[in-house]
């Protein structure tokens, strides 16, 4: 199990406390001051100033569980792949790409009722809540997730009865919809009664065949599965209920780095796998986190070993405040080529770009054109539009001198 006793504030914390989701939630760290209280004399020099300024610029609030804080190598905190995902620091942030926006997928324009995204004919995304156990710097839903920041006023997506009812009525009426993703926000944040009510109602709609529960929880708070019996039993009961109806019910989780998989994860997965709950993983390709063949292959193999199926790797979305975490499309293409064939095909994830402005997910190899000098790739997405061309833009820092000067010119 994880050696969290190396963190000064928690050196006397018992393993029964650390393994409890309530203790983890109560001791989560939200700002530089709280982090300093946890690290005490081990606080790296300059850390307070770096984080305070980083948070002023970020569109996402910060929150990290003690579990995550314990996974960070504080002697090398600047380069640590866990720290980079959750704690912004000023000196590494890059100016946003001129084409970056707060809602890069254009979800709000594809939302027929608040908190429901209906873009593909047979699929819908139900944003039940706007809160998460942690907040990722690169979140694609910076327009709504978490609380307001210095730079963003968020759209409210709280799990109110009226909003939930309105989404369920919409799903009932649209008989083309077979597949519903319950997301947000994070389903770890839903009370078991709410989770059960929402999913049971959806399972009882005849045309809905598949439900996926989106949660990053397994990667950031795995002790919820082992210690929050109400939540875990709700998931297992829903999976049983779906199986009796010959429908699918699964969890979609979000691991990005091998360090996120520990003994706590293994214990959580033992419970879910032995109860027949299918778990798939969606990673985001992130610079200086998992943008190498070795790290990605190790992650995939470790996930496979604990019966989490690697499903997608997303190229980073063109959201604001996380440009230093994006890679070029070429990096994704190169890693995919390198790892394909190095383990069973069903455990090799599909590398996709979720196209800006609602073009949907496309295989990274399926571009129509790719101007590497200016970093502009074009894609078609016939399921969304037969005529439209969608563009993905590489980070400007990856471009040649000529490419950089092109963007300096057009950005004015
Ligand atoms: S857990 Fe998901 S929804 Fe929440 S901040 Fe991270 S990416 Fe966004």
Cα(64)–Cα(35) distance, integer angstroms: 10
Alpha carbon of 185 to ligand 1 centroid (Å)? 6
Alpha carbon of 138 to ligand 1 centroid (Å)? 8
Residue with CA at minimum distance from ligand 1 atom 7: 139
Residues 222, 226, 229, 234, Cα dihedral to 10°: 50
Domains and CATH numbers, the chain: 108-406 (3.20.20.70)
In three state form, how does the secondary structure of 160-184 look?
CHHHHHHHHHHHHHCCCCCEEEEEC
Enclosing H/E stretch for 143: none
**Residue 412 pLDDT more than 60?**
no
Alpha carbon of 132 to ligand 1 centroid (Å)? 6
Alpha carbon of 134 to ligand 1 centroid (Å)? 7
The predicted model gives 83-108 an average pLDDT of 93
CA dihedral sign of residues 192, 195, 201, 203: negative
Alpha carbon of 104 to ligand 1 centroid (Å)? 14
Mutation choice for ligand 1 from 60, 216, 219, CB with most ligand atoms inside 8 A: 216
Q: How far apart are the first and last CA of the chain?
A: 52
Identify the band that residue 153 occupies on the pLDDT scale cut at 50, 70 and 90: confident
Say which residue, 266 or 41, is predicted with more confidence. 266
CA distances from 238 to 185, 247, 273 (A): 20, 11, 14
Atom of ligand 1 nearest to the CA of 220: 1
Residue with CA at minimum distance from ligand 1 atom 1: 216
**Residue 133 pLDDT more than 70?**
yes
pLDDT at 370: 98
Lowest mean pLDDT among 45-59, 149-163, 286-300: 149-163
Atom of ligand 1 nearest to the CA of 185: 3
Which of 237, 253, 396 minimizes the C-alpha distance to 326?
396
Q: Is 185 in the pocket of ligand 1 (CB under 6 A)?
A: yes
Residue 9 DSSP label? G
Q: Is 136 in the pocket of ligand 1 (CB under 6 A)?
A: yes
**Residue 255 pLDDT more than 50?**
yes
Identify the band that residue 267 occupies on the pLDDT scale cut at 50, 70 and 90: very high
The predicted model gives 393-401 an average pLDDT of 96
Alpha carbon of 203 to ligand 1 centroid (Å)? 25
Alpha carbon of 401 to ligand 1 centroid (Å)? 34
Q: How many CA atoms lie within 13 A of 59 on its CB side?
A: 24
**Residue 86 pLDDT more than 80?**
yes
Specify the residue for token string 């073009």. Answer: 359
Over residues 281-305, the pLDDT tens digits come to: 999 999 999 999 999 999 999 999 9
pTM over 0.85: yes
φ and ψ at 116, to 5 degrees?
-125, 125
**Is 1 in contact with 262 (CB distance < 8 Å)?**
yes
Q: Is 133 in the pocket of ligand 1 (CB under 6 A)?
A: no
Atom of ligand 1 nearest to the CA of 146: 5
Residue 29 DSSP label? B
Q: Is 186 in the pocket of ligand 1 (CB under 6 A)?
A: yes
pLDDT at 410: 54
Mean pLDDT, rounded, of the chain: 94
Alpha carbon of 58 to ligand 1 centroid (Å)? 14
Residues 6+ apart with CB under 8 A from 358: 105, 106, 107, 109, 110, 119, 384
Over residues 303-319, the pLDDT tens digits come to: 999 999 999 999 999 99
Q: Is 320 in the pocket of ligand 1 (CB under 6 A)?
A: no
Mutation choice for ligand 1 from 182, 186, 260, 312, CB with most ligand atoms inside 8 A: 186
88 phi-psi bin (left φ>0, alpha ψ -120 to 50, beta other): beta
Over residues 201-216, the pLDDT tens digits come to: 999 999 999 999 999 9
Atom of ligand 1 nearest to the CA of 183: 3
CA dihedral sign of residues 192, 193, 195, 200: positive
Alpha carbon of 186 to ligand 1 centroid (Å)? 7
């Amino acid at each position: 199990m994880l050696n969290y006793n190396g963190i000064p504030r928690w050196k006397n914390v018992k393993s029964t406390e650390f393994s409890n989701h309530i203790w983890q939630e109560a001791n989560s760290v939200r700002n530089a001051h709280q982090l300093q209280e946890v690290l005490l004399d081990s606080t790296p020099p300059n850390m307070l100033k770096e984080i305070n300024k980083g948070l002023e610029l970020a569109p996402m609030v910060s929150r990290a569980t003690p579990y995550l804080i314990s996974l960070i190598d504080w002697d090398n905190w600047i380069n640590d792949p866990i720290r980079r995902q959750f704690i912004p620091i000023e000196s590494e942030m890059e100016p946003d790409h001129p084409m970056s926006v707060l809602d890069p997928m254009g979800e709000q324009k594809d939302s027929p009722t608040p908190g429901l995204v209906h873009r593909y004919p047979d699929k819908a995304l139900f944003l039940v809540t706007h809160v998460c156990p942690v907040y990722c710097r690169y979140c694609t839903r910076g327009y709504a997730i978490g609380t307001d920041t210095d730079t963003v006023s968020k759209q409210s997506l709280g799990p109110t009865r009226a909003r939930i009812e309105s989404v369920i009525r919409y799903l009932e009426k649209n008989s083309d919809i077979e597949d519903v993703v319950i997301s947000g926000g994070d389903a770890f944040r839903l009370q078991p009664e709410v989770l059960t009510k929402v999913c049971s109602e959806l399972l009882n709609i005849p045309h809905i065949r598949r439900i996926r529960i989106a949660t990053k929880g397994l990667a950031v708070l795995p002790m919820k599965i082992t210690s929050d019996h109400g939540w875990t039993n709700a998931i297992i009961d829903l999976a049983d209920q779906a199986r009796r109806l010959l429908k699918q019910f699964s969890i979609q989780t979000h691991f990005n780095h091998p360090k996120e998989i520990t003994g706590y994860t293994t214990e959580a997965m033992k419970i879910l796998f032995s109860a027949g709950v299918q778990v798939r993983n969606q990673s985001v390709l992130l610079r200086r986190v998992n943008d190498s063949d070795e790290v990605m292959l190790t992650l995939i193999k470790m996930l496979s070993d604990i019966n989490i199926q690697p499903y997608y790797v997303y190229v980073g979305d063109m959201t604001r405040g996380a440009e230093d975490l994006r890679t070029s499309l070429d990096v994704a293409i190169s890693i995919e080529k390198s790892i394909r064939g190095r383990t069973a095909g069903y455990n090799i994830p599909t590398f996709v770009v979720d196209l800006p402005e609602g073009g949907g997910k496309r295989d990274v190899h399926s571009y129509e054109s790719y101007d590497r000098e200016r970093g502009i790739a074009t894609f078609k997405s016939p399921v969304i539009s037969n005529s439209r061309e969608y563009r993905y833009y590489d980070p400007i820092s990856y471009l040649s001198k000529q490419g950089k000067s092109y963007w300096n010119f057009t950005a004015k």
